[in-house]
Amino acid sequence: MARFGMEAGDRGTLETRTTGRGVLQGFFIPRDTPRADTEPSKRLAAGVKVAEVDTSKGVLRIFPTDTRSWDNNFLGPKYQKIVKITLGQSQLGFTSG
């Protein structure tokens, strides 16, 4: 299980889903539910994807996410300039074949 906070489960959990194309996706489910009609509640309703593994393309995508429920950017991108980090097979230490 992914860790969000100092102890596992402090801020939330990871829910995994597999798409019809076989892409494994991880979504952050916060322990603290955002107040209704706020930007964080809209983000949660849309799904807060934090990771995606596409084995057919040999790619891991990481979506850095702000998991601090007390912050104005809760469930939004953790960084202003970095929304997604993509790693290919060679960067992950895998080879095809």
Q: What is the pLDDT along the chain (97 residues), one digit of tens a residue?
A: 455 555 656 889 999 999 999 999 999 999 999 999 999 999 999 999 999 999 899 999 999 999 999 888 999 999 999 999 999 977 666 665 5
CB-based burial of residue 43 (10 Å sphere; 0-12 exposed, 13-18 middle, 19+ buried)?
A: buried
Virtual torsion, Cα 81, 54, 88, 58, nearest 10 deg: -170
E strand or H helix at 94: none
Diameter of the chain by CA atoms?
50
